């Protein structure tokens, strides 16, 4: 991303405000303090501002002695969300993170950047979070543009509605792209208890604005099916309303892409920032991801479980994903993924939310070892999650040999305002 993109995004927001009399607010977790209406349309504005203090317990002898750059205050969100809907069944949204755009425009351009922020769009903090139009006039809703991909419960849910400062590693975009440009079809059955998605996307993910389409000219295909009971379940991890009847949702999903590059092209030179933290988001070859998730809520308690499995088949045996192993060992396949499980409690009279989440991840089965992480969070909800103080403690219980950590634990304390 670059400064022209930043200016374009700002111009887009200004243009949307100018035509406010032609739009309507769509249902959202965020409250709307400012709404403009006409006879047939409404346009509403929402946003989020947050920051935290971060402290890391740096490990001795890890090559980071006297390097405490993470210990200090960090901005997390400076977002503006513009949501609209017309009486003719058209819906649109433009969600911009000005902080992420500004950071992207002023820092280094390298997928291996070791600084706290990279200049390019990261899956958990892209500069543009939504830019689409949707038509809901048919039984099958049609969305065209850039938004979250209907894949993974944690990815589809908002981390700001939890005591945590970010998504678990499994669902924050280290194994698959969270957002992309494309078309999504969605329909509901049996009084919204069954929810079905299908979509086709660029496959470049959050970097689509930087690179456009890649040289393969192929797409990524995604499908998801959900069943909720006794009624439709929302995408909030915390039971803030205290469900008086046990409710649950189970989902299964899968995605497939073939991005084998034509002769003369390489993803490591053409689209290096699209590869992702584990080089799994964009693979020069075949890639499938499949898995499922579950959430249940009852009287302030919610439990979650999600598992996703990545199968990658790079075309070349020289691909770094094979880690130099011979074909007799790797069989032309790399497996990755894992699971995450959590329990949460909303102590409503005390305005307190407690969360514990555990992850077991393996970024590459050709490298020995897996990673286990424990996330513990607490939130004091002054006004639900619209005005909230949050504390998150992350404790690595086991490290993956291919991605050793430089710290023994991490603590984040901060405040969030959603308006």
Please state, for a pLDDT cut of 90, what percent of the chain lies above it: 76
Decide: 208 and 202 in contact? Cβ < 8 Å. yes
For residues 106-120, average pLDDT: 49
Residues linked to residue 258 through DSSP beta bridges, in sequence order: 286
pLDDT score of 378: 98
Decide: 134 and 146 in contact? Cβ < 8 Å. no
Candidate ranges 10-14, 44-48, 98-102; pick with highest mean pLDDT: 44-48
More confident residue, 286 or 69: 286
Least confident among 20-34, 126-140, 173-187, 377-391: 20-34
220-229 and 301-314: which strand pairing? unpaired
For residues 24-47, average pLDDT: 69
pLDDT score of 65: 61
For residues 197-203, average pLDDT: 98
Summarize pLDDT for 148-182 with one digit per residue, the tens.
Answer: 999 999 999 999 999 999 999 999 999 999 999 99
> Left, alpha or beta for 298 (phi > 0: left; psi -120 to 50: alpha)?
beta
CB contact set of 190 (below 8 Å; sequence gap of 6+): none
324, burial (CB in 10 Å: exposed 0-12, middle 13-18, buried 19+): exposed
pLDDT score of 15: 34
Structure token digits, residue 167:
């998504």
Decide: 84 and 72 in contact? Cβ < 8 Å. no
Please state, for a pLDDT cut of 70, what percent of the chain lies above it: 87
pLDDT score of 24: 29
pLDDT score of 120: 59
Residue 268's pLDDT band (cuts 50, 70, 90): very high
Segments in 244-288 forming alpha helices (H): 267-270
Structure token digits, residue 224:
């998801």
Q: Name the helix (H) or strand (E) containing 351.
A: none
pLDDT score of 110: 45
Q: Does residue 230 have a cis bond before it (omega within 30 degrees)?
A: yes
Whole-angstrom Cα distance, residue 81 to residue 259? Answer: 33
Residues linked to residue 189 through DSSP beta bridges, in sequence order: 194
pLDDT score of 406: 85
3-class DSSP state for residue 55? strand
Domains of the chain, earliest start first: 3-418 (2.40.160.10)
């Amino acid at each position: 991303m670059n400064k022209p993109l930043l200016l374009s995004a700002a111009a887009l927001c200004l243009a949307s405000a100018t035509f406010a009399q032609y739009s309507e607010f769509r249902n959202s977790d965020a409250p709307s303090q400012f709404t403009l209406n006409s006879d047939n349309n409404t346009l509403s504005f929402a946003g989020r501002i947050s920051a935290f203090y971060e402290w890391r317990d740096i490990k001795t002898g890890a090559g980071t002695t006297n390097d405490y750059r993470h210990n200090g205050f960090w901005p997390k969100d400076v977002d503006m969300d513009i949501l609209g809907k017309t009486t003719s069944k058209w819906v649109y949204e433009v969600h911009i993170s000005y902080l992420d755009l500004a950071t992207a425009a002023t820092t280094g351009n390298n997928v291996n950047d070791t600084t706290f922020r990279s200049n390019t769009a990261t899956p958990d903090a892209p500069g543009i979070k939504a830019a689409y139009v949707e038509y809901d006039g048919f039984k099958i809703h049609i969305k065209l543009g850039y938004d979250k991909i209907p894949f993974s419960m944690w990815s589809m849910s908002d981390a700001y509605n939890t005591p945590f400062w970010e998504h678990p590693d499994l669902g924050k975009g280290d194994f698959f792209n969270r957002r992309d440009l494309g078309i999504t079809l969605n329909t509901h059955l049996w009084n919204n208890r069954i929810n079905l998605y299908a979509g086709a996307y660029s496959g470049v993910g959050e970097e689509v604005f930087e690179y456009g389409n890649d040289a393969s000219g192929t797409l990524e295909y995604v499908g998801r099916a959900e069943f909720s009971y006794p009624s439709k379940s929302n995408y909030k991890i915390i039971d803030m309303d205290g469900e008086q009847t046990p409710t649950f949702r189970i989902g299964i999903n899968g995605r497939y892409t073939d991005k084998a590059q034509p002769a003369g092209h390489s993803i490591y030179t053409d689209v290096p920032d699209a590869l992702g933290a584990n080089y799994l988001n964009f693979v020069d070859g075949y890639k499938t991801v499949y898995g499922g998730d579950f959430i249940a809520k009852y009287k302030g308690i919610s439990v979650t479980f999600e598992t996703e499995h990545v199968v990658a088949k790079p075309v070349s045996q020289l691909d770094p994903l094979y880690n130099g192993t011979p074909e007799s060992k790797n069989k032309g396949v790399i497996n990755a993924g894992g699971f995450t499980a959590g329990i949460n409690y909303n102590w409503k009279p005390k305005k307190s939310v407690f969360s514990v989440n555990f992850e077991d991840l393996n970024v590459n089965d050709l490298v020995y070892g897996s990673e286990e992480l424990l996330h513990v969070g607490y939130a004091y909800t002054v006004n639900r999650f619209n005005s909230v103080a949050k504390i998150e403690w992350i404790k690595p219980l086991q490290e993956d040999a291919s991605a050793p950590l430089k710290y023994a634990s991490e603590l984040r304390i901060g405040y969030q305002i959603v308006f």
